[in-house]
Structure 1
Amino acid sequence: MSPSATERPVVPLAPHQFWQTVYPEGTFDTAPAEGFRDLYPAVLPDGRQIALPVRILPGDGSRAVASMIVNQASFTVEDALSDAMAAHARAYAPDVVIGVPTLGLPLANGVARRLGHERMVALGTSKKFWYSEDLSEPMSSITSPDHAKRLYLDPRMLPLLQGKRVLVVDDVISSGTSMLAVLRLLRTAGIEPVAAVFAMLQGDNWRAVIGGHDASLVSRIHGAIASPRLSHGGSGAWFPAQA
């Protein structure tokens, strides 16, 4: 059972304790004057909170993000995220949901099921012999900047997507580079998504990147939760970055 707002959990949490509990509203201070330490409390639309670990980004150690690893989360947390994502998705009445590998796939399943769909369409990063390089795009992410891979669309899935209202689902949008690869791949196939829904919007850097591809899409990108990029404030404290 989740603790009440007055029965605050012991912090710092151990690594395996993150992403496991949906805490009641008010469990954690969302704007502590002393800054954030080991965790950032992300807030769901209904006010409940999910504790995310603060991870220092590569470089000089002055920047960090609140991390969300869906395949390490409890089913309770995954369900809460999927519920909130599906609520955003319903406004666009999508015909089909596209899942972005790897961590976007279970969320795409969850969203598609909640929308009453019989299936979703998964993009892939492993090339099958019947795939075409013409339906692929290089992709990297903030968590794996040195491990670029290729994103593929199975050509057999095209009849499910062409002429349909397509919704893209992924776990996190941060720099926007992974989502940009998805959009470029879909545009190659003649597909422009009606919206994109994420478990978490991480900072705002992605807005300029996506806006450069399609300015109208930025307002149609939604997240179940959001977190800022963080700057080191000394004495182990982290504060929302100004830029």
Structure 2
Amino acid sequence: MQPHDFWQTIHPAGAHADAGPFVEAYPARFTDGRQLLLPIRALADGRYGLASLIVNQASFAVLSALADDLAARLRPFSPDVVVGLPTLGLTLAAAVAERLGHGRYVPCGTSRKFWYVEELSVPMSSVTTHHARRLYVDPRMLPLLEGRRVALVDDVISSGASIVAGLRLMAAVAVEPVAIGAAMLQTERWRPALAELSPIWPDRVVGSLVMPLLERTDAGWIAEDQGIGPKRGIRFSENPTR
């Protein structure tokens, strides 16, 4: 496949073998069996890799399928408002909020507007960026959050750093999200970071697609176990997704 061909088509169940080994793409599965081919990105050591998803490069049909699925997973939590995390999480959060019947959503941002206040911001790090940022919530949006059931949405949860920043920001405005949603959960290495913040958070996470750690072999990429924590010596700092 050409790079621009990924994230464009939802394939019927069973269209692609999902047992591996895989050459260049991993067939992620929705609950109903439909498949989405994702490019495999090698990590720093070249031995391990992860499937990648960039939602703002996805076709409208794929974005719609992800939003439909995630909205269905979040609906049992009865959220009153969806809060989106930048940057790619904003695309997904808006679509999810619309499917939940909301008239709007609340976007967080890393660009400081002149009316923002530092007290309503937290440091934010991500494996996709190499510079320090701060995560802000617009003070004008606080009435939409106060006393409401909030769902925090991002595109991908990988190391957990972005979600932890989002949770810290919500705590700064006295909000405890009832759920955390993502289009993709990359392995389970995010669990310790969320559990360290509070043991309640890992159980409030839902995701449409769950990706294993992949290991390169002579035959191709094979799926490793999805246990907590990466194998010793693996560098995730150059992972192209969060």
What SS does structure 1 have at the residue aligned with 2:95? helix
Give the Cα separation in 1 of the matches to 2:81 and 2:26.
33
Question: Residues 154-185 of structure 1: CA distance to partner in whole angstroms, max 9, x if unpaired?
Answer: 11111110111000111000010111111111
Give the Cα separation in 1 of the matches to 2:11 and 2:28.
10
Equivalent residue, structure 2, for 1:238: 221
What SS does structure 2 have at the residue aligned with 1:82? helix
Equivalent residue, structure 2, for 1:138: 123
Shift of 1:17: 0.6
Give the Cα separation in 1 of the matches to 2:127 and 2:31.
25
Question: Residues 135-166 of structure 1: CA distance to partner in whole angstroms, max 9, x if unpaired?
Answer: 1112122333x233211111111111011100
Give the Cα separation in 2 of the matches to 1:179 and 1:234.
36
Equivalent residue, structure 1, for 2:45: 60
| Pair 1:27-2:11 in alignment | no
**Which one of 171, 174, 192 corresponds to residue 190 of structure 1?**
174
Shift of 1:214: 1.8
Question: Residues 39-76 of structure 1: CA distance to partner in whole angstroms, max 9, x if unpaired?
Answer: 0111012110000000112x222221100000110000
Q: How does 1:69-80 map to 2 (within 5 A)?
A: 69-80=54-65
Q: Taking structure 2 as the reference length, what is the TM-score of the superposition?
A: 0.90
**Which one of 26, 30, 40 corresponds to residue 44 of structure 1?**
30
What SS does structure 2 have at the residue aligned with 1:91? helix
Equivalent residue, structure 2, for 1:170: 154
Q: Taking structure 1 as the reference length, what is the TM-score of the superposition?
A: 0.90
Shift of 1:90: 0.5
**Which one of 53, 70, 73 corresponds to residue 88 of structure 1?**
73
Equivalent residue, structure 1, for 2:144: 160
Give the Cα separation in 1 of the matches to 2:118 and 2:101.
33
- The amino acid of 1:221's aligned partner reads V
Shift of 1:29: 1.0
What SS does structure 1 have at the residue aligned with 2:73? helix
Equivalent residue, structure 2, for 1:117: 102
Equivalent residue, structure 2, for 1:15: 3
Give the Cα separation in 1 of the matches to 2:132 and 2:223.
28
What SS does structure 1 have at the residue aligned with 2:27? strand
**Which one of 134, 139, 149 corresponds to residue 150 of structure 1?**
134
Identify unmatched segments of 5+ residues in structure 2. 231-242
Give the Cα separation in 2 of the matches to 1:222 and 1:130.
34
Shift of 1:37: 1.5
What SS does structure 1 have at the residue aligned with 2:119? helix
Give the Cα separation in 2 of the matches to 1:41 and 1:148.
34
Shift of 1:226: 1.2
Once superposed, what is the RMSD of the aligned Cα atoms?
1.2
**Number of corresponding residues:** 226
Give the Cα separation in 1 of the matches to 2:139 and 2:197.
23
Identity score, percent: 52
Classify 1:27/1:183 alpha carbon distance in 2 versus 1 (closer, same or farther; 3 Å): same
Classify 1:36/1:143 alpha carbon distance in 2 versus 1 (closer, same or farther; 3 Å): farther
What SS does structure 2 have at the residue aligned with 1:171? strand
